[in-house]
């Protein structure tokens, strides 16, 4: 039972263009979503997050969009740079009042992004 899915195993983009990474979830209890970036031989690094009370969060070149009705979120990278080439993981958690999960994350399978010069 995969509660968080990234259906595209890989994405190839030209430098300077937009990269769009997608993520779907099934558990309606999820109320906090994160994107992590991972380089080879390193641990995942936090990139950007969004609470379910918002539909957009922006940080520099990175924007995350959340569509709660569709249970879908996406990460936009504009403009894409070769240094953005990495594996991107979507993750979801239940943070709400009274929750006892203490931020336990459920990860998608990851999308390998390659940005060509």
Partner 1 sequence: DARVTQTPRHKVTEMGQEVTMRCQPILGHNTVFWYRQTMMQGLELLAYFRNRAPLDDSGMPKDRFSAEMPDATLATLKIQPSEPRDSAVYFCASRWENIQYFGAGTRLSVL
The contacts found for 103-106 with CB under 8 angstroms, 24 or more apart, are: 103/32, 105/34, 106/3, 106/4, 106/27, 106/30
Q: Which is nearer to partner 1, 52 or 80 (CB)?
A: 52
Cβ 75 to partner 1 shortest distance, Å: 16
Which uninterrupted H or E stretch holds 73? strand 72-77
Which segment (17-25, 31-39, 53-61, 69-77) binds partner 1 by CB under 8 A?
31-39
Stretch that binds partner 1, among 10-18, 20-28, 73-81, 88-96 (CB under 8 A): 88-96
Assess contact for 44 and 36: CB atoms under 8 A: yes
Does 112 sit near partner 1 (CB under 8 A)? no
Q: Note the residue count of the chain.
A: 117
Task: Answer yes or no whether residue 1 interacts with partner 1 by CB under 8 A.
Answer: no
Q: Contact region for partner 1 (CB under 8 A) — 10-18, 20-28, 33-41, 73-81?
A: 33-41
Q: Does 57 bind partner 1 (CB under 8 A)?
A: no
Q: Sign of the CA dihedral 18, 23, 28, 33?
A: negative
Contact between 43 and partner 1 per CB under 8 A: yes
- The CA distance from 61 to 9, in Å, is 22
Name the residues that contact partner 1, by CB under 8 A.
32, 34, 36, 41-46, 49, 89, 93, 95, 100, 102-110
């Amino acid at each position: 039972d995969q509660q968080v899915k990234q259906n595209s195993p890989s994405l190839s983009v030209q430098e300077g263009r937009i990269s769009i990474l997608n993520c779907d979830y099934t558990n309606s209890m999820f109320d906090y979503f994160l994107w992590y970036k991972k380089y080879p031989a390193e641990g995942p690094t936090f990139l950007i997050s969004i609470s379910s009370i918002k539909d957009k969060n922006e940080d520099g070149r990175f924007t995350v969009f959340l569509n709660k009705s569709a249970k879908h979120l996406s990460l936009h990278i504009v403009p894409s740079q070769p240094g953005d080439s990495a594996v991107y993981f979507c993750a979801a958690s239940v943070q709400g009042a009274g929750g006892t999960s203490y931020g336990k994350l459920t990860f998608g399978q990851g999308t390998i992004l390659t940005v060509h010069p």
